[in-house]
């Protein structure tokens, strides 16, 4: 067997052995001015081999166990979204909801960059009526928006996702799939101090200077 073929086979084995696959794809479509700052408009999609299950509990902060029993609703998290105003525009409020944690929600088998100093936004599936209906079957795409006080483009942050494998009648049907990847966002953008803060610091230093001069 040629060496190149061996290498491809090895990579293929590694890819199937890992529970983390890039089954979620997320991209920024536009960033537009809004009442609270800027709306970051995203598009996300899942593969034909997946579905998004509304079953189980709301994703928790930190790491969630790998979910092969549908005990946790499927979700998508965007990390360290600076200047988050609390406003999220969901693709369909009868199918989705959101939570914001400082750490997580993160599938247990992936490690995104996640600082406790910046909020994450997790959007997750909820059941439409009738109860426990219905998974969104891939291939499927949906859009959502998150508002920030910051609108500077070009900064790359992390996202993760938790899907369900969709293979009716097959042994892998219903198993969890974790994704991790990069996406543009106001990722870890530091707060710029207000001009008033500079004035206060300046006045404090001036006061220190006067006091020291009197002391000598």
Write a three-state SS string for the chain: CCHHHHHHHHHHHHHHHCCECCCEEEEEEEEEEECCEEEEEEEEEECCCEEECCCCECCCEEEECCCCCCCECCEEEECCECCEEEEEECCCCCCEEEECCCCEEEECCCCCCCCCCCCCEEEEECCECCCCECCEECCEEEEEEEEECCCCCCCEEEEEEEEEECCCCCCCCCCEEEEEEEEECCECCCCCCCHHHHHHHHHHHHHHHHHHHHHC
128 and 134 Cβ atoms separated by less than 8 Å: yes
Which residue lies nearer to Ca ion by CB, 144 or 159?
159
User: Which of 105/120 has CB closer to Ca ion?
Assistant: 120
**Which is nearer to Ca ion, 67 or 114 (by Cβ)?**
114
User: Closest approach of Cβ 167 to Ca ion, in Å?
Assistant: 33
Pairing relation of β-strands 176-184 and 104-107? unpaired
Closest distance of CB 119 from Ca ion, Å? 6
Q: How far is the CB of 104 from Ca ion (least distance, A)?
A: 8
Toward Ca ion, which CB reaches closer, 64 or 120? 120
Least distance to Ca ion from the beta carbon of 70, Å?
Answer: 26
- What's the min distance (Å) between Cβ of 102 and Ca ion? 5
For Ca ion, the closer of residues 120 and 145 by Cβ is 120
- Between 114 and 162, name the residue whose CB sits nearer to Ca ion: 114
Q: Which residues bind Ca ion (CB under 5 A)?
A: 80, 114-115, 118, 120
Measured from the CB of residue 194, what is the shortest distance to Ca ion in angstroms?
Answer: 23
């Amino acid at each position: 067997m040629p060496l190149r073929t061996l290498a491809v086979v090895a990579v293929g084995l590694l890819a199937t052995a890992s529970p983390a696959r890039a089954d979620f794809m997320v991209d920024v479509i536009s960033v537009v001015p809004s009442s609270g700052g800027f709306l970051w408009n995203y598009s996300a999609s899942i593969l034909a081999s997946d579905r998004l299950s509304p079953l189980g509990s709301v994703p928790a902060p930190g790491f969630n166990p790998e979910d092969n029993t549908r005990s946790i609703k499927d979700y998508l998290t965007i990390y360290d979204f600076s200047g988050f105003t609390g406003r999220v525009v969901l693709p369909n409020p009868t199918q989705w909801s959101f939570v914001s944690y400082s750490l997580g929600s993160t599938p247990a088998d992936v490690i995104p960059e996640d600082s406790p100093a910046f909020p994450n936004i997790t959007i997750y599936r909820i059941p439409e009526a009738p109860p426990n209906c219905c998974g969104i079957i891939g291939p499927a795409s949906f859009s959502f928006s998150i508002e920030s006080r910051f609108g500077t483009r070009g900064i790359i942050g992390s996202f993760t996702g938790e899907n369900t494998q969709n293979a009716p009648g097959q042994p892998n049907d219903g198993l969890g799939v974790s994704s991790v990847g990069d996406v543009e966002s106001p990722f870890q953008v530091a707060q710029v101090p207000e001009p008033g803060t500079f004035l206060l610091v300046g006045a404090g230093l001036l006061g220190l200077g006067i006091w020291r001069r009197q002391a000598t």
